[in-house]
């Protein structure tokens, strides 16, 4: 048991440069939240639902982290700082790192049954602070979810998700199989990370052209400013 505890504390220390020793890691709210969750989850599996909830509420009061007793969590789960929520049917793999204010939330069942309504997080995933992962989706292994991202669709293995609603930064297959484009220039601006610089440069060029046209119009003579013609008409 002590070997497993030491391995768990060392896994956290390897992912967080702040603690100088295992004793410091023992003070982390995420460590205590996991300690109480293991108890609550065992009680939940034994169908002692009230006692499981009691342990869960005490843990939430003590740590600020709300992990439903029914959630299934693998080895070396690290919650940094806390204030996060993990739903009842959530499943979390091994070596997952989750920063503060994250929600692994559920969707309302449309058929009147509970069922699987929370996300499944595969192993070695990192979830940034403030991220919201909602519904019975799967976040693939080694995926990264950026801070404040909102994820409602499945995430491929190794993808990095950003934005609201989150989108993958992986290059879509329909993009990379295109024929060679010199210097990466594209004829139009697309909503992709690689083309944003081109888009900005194009917009800046259009803005300069519009300013030049406005200055030309300002300097052009008008009927009010034109001098009167001398002499008389014959």
Assigned domain for 226 exists: no
Q: What is the pLDDT of residue 28?
A: 96
pTM: 0.69
* Residues 8, 116 share a domain: yes
* Residues 205, 162 share a domain: no
* Residues 134, 191 share a domain: no
Assigned domain for 176 exists: no
Q: What is the pLDDT of residue 26?
A: 94
Q: What is the pLDDT of residue 129?
A: 94
Q: How many domains does the chain have?
A: 2
**Under 8 Å CB-to-CB from 114, ≥6 apart: which residues?**
88, 89
Per residue of the chain (234 residues), what is the pLDDT tens digit? 788 999 999 999 999 999 999 999 999 999 999 999 999 999 999 999 999 999 999 999 999 999 999 999 999 999 999 899 999 999 999 999 999 999 999 986 665 567 899 999 999 999 999 999 999 999 999 999 999 999 999 999 999 998 888 767 665 544 544 454 444 444 544 455 455 566 677 888 888 988 888 888 888 776 665 666 655 554
* Residues 140, 201 share a domain: no
Q: What is the pLDDT of residue 131?
A: 95
Assigned domain for 234 exists: no
* Residues 128, 67 share a domain: yes
CATH number at residue 70: 2.160.10.10
* Residues 91, 28 share a domain: yes
Assigned domain for 227 exists: no
* Residues 125, 73 share a domain: yes
Residue range(s) defining the domain that contains residue 158: 2-170
Assigned domain for 120 exists: yes
Which long-range contacts (C-beta less than 8 Å, at least 24 apart) are formed by 110-114? 114/88, 114/89
Q: What is the pLDDT of residue 87?
A: 94
Assigned domain for 233 exists: no
Q: What is the pLDDT of residue 185?
A: 44
């Amino acid at each position: 048991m002590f070997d497993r505890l030491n391995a768990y504390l060392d896994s956290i220390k390897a992912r967080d440069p702040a603690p100088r020793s295992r004793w410091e890691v023992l003070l982390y709210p995420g460590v205590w939240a996991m300690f109480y969750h293991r108890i609550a989850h065992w009680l939940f599996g034994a169908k002692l639902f009230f006692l499981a909830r009691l342990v869960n509420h005490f843990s939430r009061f003590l740590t600020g982290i709300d992990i439903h007793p029914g959630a299934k969590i693998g080895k070396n789960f690290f919650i940094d700082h806390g204030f996060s929520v993990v739903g009842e049917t959530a499943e979390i793999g091994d070596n997952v790192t989750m920063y503060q204010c994250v929600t692994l939330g559920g969707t309302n069942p449309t058929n009147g049954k509970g069922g699987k309504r929370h996300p499944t997080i595969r192993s070695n995933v990192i979830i940034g602070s403030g991220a919201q992962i909602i519904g019975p989706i799967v976040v693939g292994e080694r995926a990264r979810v950026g801070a404040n991202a909102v994820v409602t669709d499945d995430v491929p293995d190794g993808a990095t998700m950003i934005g609201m609603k989150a989108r993958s930064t992986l290059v879509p297959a329909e993009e990379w199989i295109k024929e060679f484009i010199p210097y990466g220039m594209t004829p139009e601006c697309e909503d992709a990370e690689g083309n944003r610089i081109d888009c900005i440069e194009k917009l800046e060029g259009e803005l300069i052209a519009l300013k030049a046209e406005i200055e030309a119009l300002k300097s052009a003579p008008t009927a009010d400013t034109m001098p009167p013609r001398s002499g008389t008409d014959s």
